[in-house]
Structure 1
Amino acid sequence: MTHGEGSRRSRGEPVRDHDQAPSEEEATIASEPADGGRSRRGAGRATAARTRIVGWVLLLALGSLGVGTLVTWLLLLDEADRRIETALDSRTAEFARVTGTGIDPTTGRPFGSTDEILRWAITAARPDETLLGYLDGRLRRESRPAGPRTALREDPAFTALVSSVRRPTRGTHHSADGEVRWSALPVGPAGDPACGVVVIGRFTDQEYGFANGAARSTAVVGVAAALLTAAGAWLVTGRVLRPVRDVATTARAITGTDLSHRVPQQAGARDEIGELAGTVNAMLDRVQTGTEAQLRFVDDAGHELRTPITIVRGHLGVLDPNDPEDVSGTVALVDDELRRMERLVSEMLALTRARQPSLLRPEDVDVAELTRDLFGKLTGLADRDWLLQSVAPVRARIDPDRITQAVVALADNATRFTGPGDRIALGSEVVDGRLRIWVSDTGPGVAPEDRPRVFRRFARGADAPRSDGAGLGLSVVEAIATTHGGRVLLESTPGCGATFTLDLPRDVR
């Protein structure tokens, strides 16, 4: 004899095997399989996502390359400008020092004229600079130009700018051969009335050539590297997005009647993508379990309702309206079956509501006071030896109405397996920070083979007594405990009674 309350009694019709497939009337959920067009659209969306990712990677790579190349180019140009200025300062200081002493460094004798100074300066020209010597406003001497550069000596504007300076002067001039940075220094020995000027010029395009070449080389190499990166990103993205495609493929393969498909998981995958596949599979497991439980519930409920309907139809079919006794007996039977259906529907609604967390109304409750109130209500259920074992002097955030419903169901279940004079005890306590409320009895207990099914809907043990209920009481109790974030514990020794315990958190979130 067990504490399961379910009843699968038939009152006029045999009960169909639970393993039998539901009929068309009982299983109406259907879904058409995904067609080829949907698959192609899904593949197209996956490719589009892959293209967008690679496109963004390429755009970021090219953007980073552009910024890096621009910054490098500007730094090299700045370095070239500093090098030009340093060279002009150095050469101007060198010429000023020599002409200041008036001694020709090559011969060790004093310069005889301004023209000799110009001749010495021109012979000291370096390959990367242009030297011009002006005497009385006209070009007198010129160093060998670096390349086919002749614009400076033929540029009247430049000649007018530098040929008659009276003090050291610096500037920039835009000639036909490009931009030139120049430094002009007036020279001449003492006593020579001629006015001489030495001009040191450096074309910036020569100095900027290295910077421009480095920028071009960096851009070419960077673009090639970005394209290789895009190709690698295309391959890597395909591998990364494969689990996502598997999720989409699995979702399309699932129908209302086939929930067996799962997302393939790579062995050892512990990253976010692997976690996604595992989470989706776990969700599908829950959906499949819930759907199967729902179908079983509908099947069981259908059987429970079909039995009284069959009984009513059978008796109405043979009713003799001219026999008052037959009419009276049939009406009584129909009324009894209708009440039984009403109880079944009420219990199914109670189970449905117990599983909805949104209907939970937790509040701060004095557990000791609730326990005493419950004991007062339970003593009127049946003629039993009722005992209040203990009360927990704590406060807990629970739904008192739901807890009352669960405890009354447990106590009512205990009365079905006990007789007058048998003991039924109620108590509450706090164990390891969790609230426990229990109902125990001295009935026959629960057989070990019946424990796995004692909380199943519409199920009962082989030796369970006849009950007016539909076998949903303990399922409602379990649903209430689960909604509170807890569970129902069962302790029983055959022949020595059983104890059902609501194990609840003290603070329901």
Structure 2
Amino acid sequence: MRVPNLRLQLSLWLLLPLLALLAMDAWMTYHRAMDAAHVAFDRTLEASLKSMREGIRLHEGRLAIDVPYLALEIFESEAGSRIYYVIRDEHGATLTGYDDLPMPAAPKQPLYKTVFYDAVFRGEPVRMAAQPLPVRDMPSGQARLVWVLVGETIEPRQSLAHEILAGSLQQEMVLVTLALGIVWFGVRRGLRPLHRLSAAVAERGADDLAPLEQKDLPAEMKPLVEAINQYVARLHRMLLARKRFFADAAHQLKTPLAIMQAQSELALRERDGDRILRHVRPLHDTVRHAAKGVQQLLSLSRLEPDSGYAPALLPLRLDTLARDVALEWTPVARAGQVDLGFEADAPVQVLGQAELLWELTGNLVDNAIRYAGPGAQVTVRVAGPENQPLLQVVDSGPGVAAGERDKVFQRFYRGESTSEQDGSGLGLPIVRQIARAHGATVALEDTPGGGLTVSVRFAVTAVAGAGAGLASRQSWRNHQEVSK
């Protein structure tokens, strides 16, 4: 469906109300013209009544009526109208004239005043004038009351009202035409800044993502330009994130691919099966390390602030999830000679996505096992102080220097004491992004007695701590699991 241009839409929105106002004004003008015509023609009716009163006399108790020709001649001078009259006594009996002319309703005016009213006579609308008249016989002192009614069809009044209306409409049409021309010119000038903005955007190159200028723009256009600039800024950040992802992927895969190539070439040169197997095992470890790095890169890219990804947060048991993660990493901890344990005071619930929180906890446990070293202790702890869920991974390793605690959240950053085999440097950045998606914060603190404590504090929620007291303290360490 084709949408009309903005200029045409604005003109139509202005034209339709103007036409509606014109129709309303025409109706009001016609009624005002009819009122004016009634005022003018009612004077003629009243003059006719006055002439007819002069021809009514009372003589010896009998009414004598002589309708002056002048009274009817006044009406005959009005082209197109028909005149009706009647004179009735106080009992309603017709003395002369048209017998079925309608009488007025109970008059609100004082007695003997002329009453003007509208009526229908013989299927036609008529304008009536009626007056009760006392007639006296001066010699005898007798008095009689008569009603004098005069009616006129309203064609002359309508003709006068139509003439007034036609003249008024001609003037108003001229004014409306001029107003539309002014509106069209004003809309055209008012849309010039929009045309300039459109031209400025069209002239930009494909890689030009600089903000649009807001100088000399009308106040109504500034919100639009600000919204466009915000959208362009988000697009720019998304493009930067994509470029960063490609750069990170190249950085992360370059070394493993080179190692795999070298190890595969060595394996191809061997003829003995045992020697080939000796080269294939490190190749398998390198592939696994590369696959993990790719998975971490994808997770980090998905969790970028401008990626548009919004996880569906549902109520879940944080203590149960953390315990299951610790159980999953128990074999790895035993292989690294690390004592892995779990502690929880009571059931703790949070609003979260299980897969993401599983990855967050796994990364923290992986880092703790990897960097704490053989003989160290690692504890996964869940608590809910003051209904604020708290997840902690505590280790007794060498810890992280205070000057490096902000740097470890940067991509691919490794401490001075770490080696290439100690991870990819993406675990803690992923932890921070997952925590941000859950409205949580991550902090690094010293462990009393030595080591590092990573604390993830969730926002206070209505479900946090729900069901507390349903279970007693849970606690185990991996050497207990081994005995089982």
Per the TM alignment, residue 437 of structure 1 is displaced from its structure 2 partner at its CA by: 0.8
Q: What is the distance in 1 between the residues matched to 2:19 and 2:395?
A: 82
Matched residue, 1:167: 98
1:72 aligns with 2:20: no
CA deviation map 1:276-312 (0-9, x unaligned) = 1232133123212311221212221331333213423
Matched residue, 2:181: 227
**Does the aligned pair in 2 maintain the 1:387–1:425 contact within 8 Å?**
yes
**Does the aligned pair in 2 maintain the 1:397–1:507 contact within 8 Å?**
no
1:264 aligns with 2:212: yes
Matched residue, 1:85: 38
**Does the aligned pair in 2 maintain the 1:367–1:394 contact within 8 Å?**
yes
| Match for residue 337 of structure 1 among 254, 271, 283 | 283
Letter in 2 for 1:365: L
Matched residue, 2:298: 352
Unaligned runs of 5+ in 2: 57-63, 87-96, 102-117, 131-149, 304-308, 464-484
Write the mapping of 1:471-486 to structure 2, written as runs, cut at 5 A: 471-486=425-440
Matched residue, 1:34: none
| Match for residue 290 of structure 1 among 241, 249, 257 | 241
CA deviation map 1:171-203 (0-9, x unaligned) = 99xxxxxxx988899xxxxxxxxxxx9989846
Q: What is the distance in 2 between the residues matched to 1:199 and 1:281?
A: 78
**Does the aligned pair in 1 maintain the 2:310–2:437 contact within 8 Å?**
no
Per the TM alignment, residue 413 of structure 1 is displaced from its structure 2 partner at its CA by: 1.2
- Greater mean alpha carbon deviation, residues 367-376 or residues 53-62: 367-376
Corresponding residue pairs, total: 396
Matched residue, 2:138: none
Change in 2 beyond 3 A, CA 1:90/1:501? same
1:307 aligns with 2:258: yes
CA deviation map 1:204-224 (0-9, x unaligned) = 443433322222212211221
Q: What is the distance in 1 between the residues matched to 2:450 and 2:44?
A: 114
**Does the aligned pair in 1 maintain the 2:383–2:389 contact within 8 Å?**
yes
- Greater mean alpha carbon deviation, residues 476-485 or residues 458-467: 476-485
Matched residue, 2:318: 367
Unaligned runs of 5+ in 1: 1-47, 104-110, 126-130, 133-141, 146-151, 153-157, 173-179, 186-196
Write the mapping of 1:106-255 to structure 2, written as runs, cut at 5 A: 117-119=68-70, 131-132=75-76, 152=79, 166-167=97-98, 202=156, 204-240=158-194, 243=197, 253-254=205-206
| Match for residue 437 of structure 1 among 391, 409, 419 | 391
Matched residue, 1:464: 418
Change in 2 beyond 3 A, CA 1:299/1:374? closer
Change in 2 beyond 3 A, CA 1:333/1:494? farther
Letter in 2 for 1:63: L
| Identity value in percent | 20
CA deviation map 1:46-93 (0-9, x unaligned) = xx98x7111111122222221111211121112222333344444323
Letter in 2 for 1:337: L
Structure 2 length as normaliser, TM-score?
0.65
**Does the aligned pair in 1 maintain the 2:26–2:169 contact within 8 Å?**
yes
Q: What is the distance in 2 between the residues matched to 1:359 and 1:493?
A: 34
| Match for residue 101 of structure 1 among 46, 54, 73 | 54
Q: What is the distance in 1 between the residues matched to 2:284 and 2:347?
A: 45
Over the aligned positions, Cα root-mean-square deviation in angstroms equals: 4.6
**Does the aligned pair in 2 maintain the 1:265–1:278 contact within 8 Å?**
no
* Structure 2 residue matching 1:262: 3-state secondary structure: coil
**Does the aligned pair in 2 maintain the 1:489–1:500 contact within 8 Å?**
yes
Structure 1 length as normaliser, TM-score?
0.63
State the structure with bigger RCO (CA 8 A, min sep 6), 1 or 2: 1
